[in-house]
Amino acid sequence: MAFEKQREELFKLRERALQMGGAEKVRRQHEAGRLTARERIDRLLDPGTFLEVGMLNHSDVPGMEEKSPADSKVVGFGKIDGRQVAIQANDFTTLAASSSRVAGRKEKEAFTYAIRRGLPVIYFAEAGGARMPDIMGALGMTGQGFSIGIYGRNRRMPMVAAVMGQSYGLPTWMSALSDFVVQVKGSSMAVSGPRVLELAISEKVSEEELGGWEVHACTTGMTDAVAEDEEHCFQIIRKFLEYMPSNNQELPPVMPVPEGSGQNMERILDFVPEQRNRGYDMYNVIKTMVDGEEVFPVKDLFGKTVITCLARIGGHTVGFIANQPFFMGGAMGADGIDKMISFMAMCDSFNIPLIFLHDIPGFFVGKEAERQRVAGKIINHMTALAQITVPKISIVIRKTYGMAFFNMCGTGCGADFLVAWPSADISFMDPEVGVNVVYGAQFRGSEKEKEEREKFLEKWGYECEPFPAAGLHHIHDVIDPPQTRDYIIRCLEIARGTVNGGVGEHHLANWPTKF
């Protein structure tokens, strides 16, 4: 056959790339309980769909050609459940997947192509940071492939980052840029690794303490979901993409409604105590409403007094923002506000209607709250809320007090439909606190103190019920709780029939992905 020699050279180079860092490095990766970059791609993508680009890449440093197969990054395109995606995986067996000039150009090109064509991006993070001495000096820094265009992607397509192992430098930047971050237990993510910190600033810290899953899932909010292992990680990625469109010009996929969905709506009030100060798990209320009682939590371990989750109602993807009385009575703090803003930006960018469920006593107040800049965050939240163009349905379940009523998309805050359950309690503050503030000095110590207090509480309690507000059209209606699922389905049907067909204007597409 013609060109046999040249073809043999091609096969040899391809085989070299497939071996990655060599058998010994691959063995170490497996002994650490981790798959290689190529194995991860094979496990996630539909079989036989991966098209690699840049397979024959290598370092541009003389003498490093044989030591840098694919220049430590495996990049290309494939399918997940039949949907085209772009995928990038760090090959830790090759030079610790360190960042370099050639790999940077490859990653930039693939990422830019995904933006232009509207393909979801999957990024497998596991790398030791920048490759030195390659990127030292002026040529090293100016010759890297990334550009500001990547950071200004305007959320045109969903981006998922999976933190699989040691992820320092570039993998952290890519995770912070992503819409959804999964972190596998045992991995670590930080700006610089422990070794660099010890040498540079004499700080000794373990990988887990520096950037383990508990740090980012519970404290920083950088991690949206935690995976027990790599296979669990792949399952989470696939599930997340099921709720998302491929790009911001599409609606999310419509799925068949599981049999029995909504069959427990008649007992939904069983989950909500009549006493305002009693806690309960709002997830039970949400699950009763949604298809198959299935929800997909986002940042579930961060800002736990508020729930942000994806679900489906009538086959269509929706995003829930719901107060969680199970934690601190549902009171909102700085973390909860950041969590809500991040979720609203994602849903507005990808045409996902938002459903707000109120049961909130207000915001945390006091010295610590002020030091966490809660006042500024509340207004940041209102600024974001004002720019949302996807449908918004706001439902008052139980109590909703003060500014928190407006932050939960209350009157005048752009809800397409704003309704309450008969159990709703809407006021500036808890009536018991309000009575003490206004009348406490008047009857405190009086022989009829209890009687006087009850009289005012009865009066103020009625005024806090939703019926006066509905009577003057300050809210749209009071609905029977068992009818909530049907009501939401009908409202979303109306909203999708608008001139844009449910595709929003994406005013929050440039809102920062992290906080």
Contact 347, 385 (CB under 8 A): no
Tokens 């691959």 found at: 26
Q: How many domains does the chain have?
A: 3
Same domain, residue pair 51 and 167? yes
Same domain, residue pair 275 and 220? no
Same domain, residue pair 301 and 154? no
Same domain, residue pair 147 and 47? yes
Same domain, residue pair 176 and 287? no
Is 254 a member of any domain?
no
Q: How would DSSP label each residue in 405-463?
A: HHHTT-TTS--SEEEE-TT-EEESS-HHHHHHHHHHHHHTT-TTHHHHHHHHHHHHHHH
Taking each continuous run of H as one helix and of E as one strand, the counts in the chain are 20, 16
Distances (CA, A) of 166 to 21, 175, 219, 271, 324: 17, 13, 19, 43, 34
Record the pTM.
0.91
Helix (H, G, I), strand (E, B) or coil at 357: strand
Give the contacts of 388 (CB within 8 A, at least 6 positions apart): 344, 347, 348, 354, 414, 504, 507, 508
User: Which parts of 290-390 fold into alpha helices (H)?
Assistant: 334-349, 367-371, 374-387
Same domain, residue pair 101 and 139? yes
Is 248 a member of any domain?
no
Torsion sign, CA atoms 164, 121, 342, 502: negative
Is 512 a member of any domain?
no
Same domain, residue pair 208 and 318? no
Contact 437, 457 (CB under 8 A): no
Same domain, residue pair 126 and 233? yes
Same domain, residue pair 60 and 132? yes
Q: Please report the pLDDT score of residue 460 as a whole number.
A: 54
Same domain, residue pair 144 and 231? yes
Per-residue pLDDT of the chain (515 residues; tens, 9 = 90+): 779 899 999 999 999 999 999 999 999 999 999 999 999 999 999 999 999 999 999 999 999 999 999 999 999 999 999 999 999 999 999 999 988 889 989 999 999 999 999 999 999 999 987 787 777 777 667 766 566 667 777 899 999 999 999 999 889 999 999 999 999 999 999 998 878 776 778 888 888 999 999 999 999 999 999 999 999 999 999 999 999 999 999 999 999 999 999 999 999 999 999 888 899 999 999 999 999 999 999 999 999 999 999 999 999 999 999 999 999 999 999 999 999 999 999 999 999 999 999 999 988 888 988 998 999 999 999 999 999 999 999 999 999 999 999 999 999 999 999 999 999 999 876 655 554 555 555 666 565 656 666 665 555 555 789 999 999 999 999 999 999 999 999 999 998 877 778 899 999 999 988 88
Same domain, residue pair 474 and 358? yes
Taking the C-alpha atoms of residue 406 and residue 418, their distance in angstroms, rounded to an integer, is: 11
Is 253 a member of any domain?
no
Same domain, residue pair 229 and 287? no
Is 260 a member of any domain?
no
Strand partners, 323: 306
Residue type, 429: M
Structural domain that includes position 29: 4-243
Q: Residue 377: which CATH number?
A: 3.90.226.10
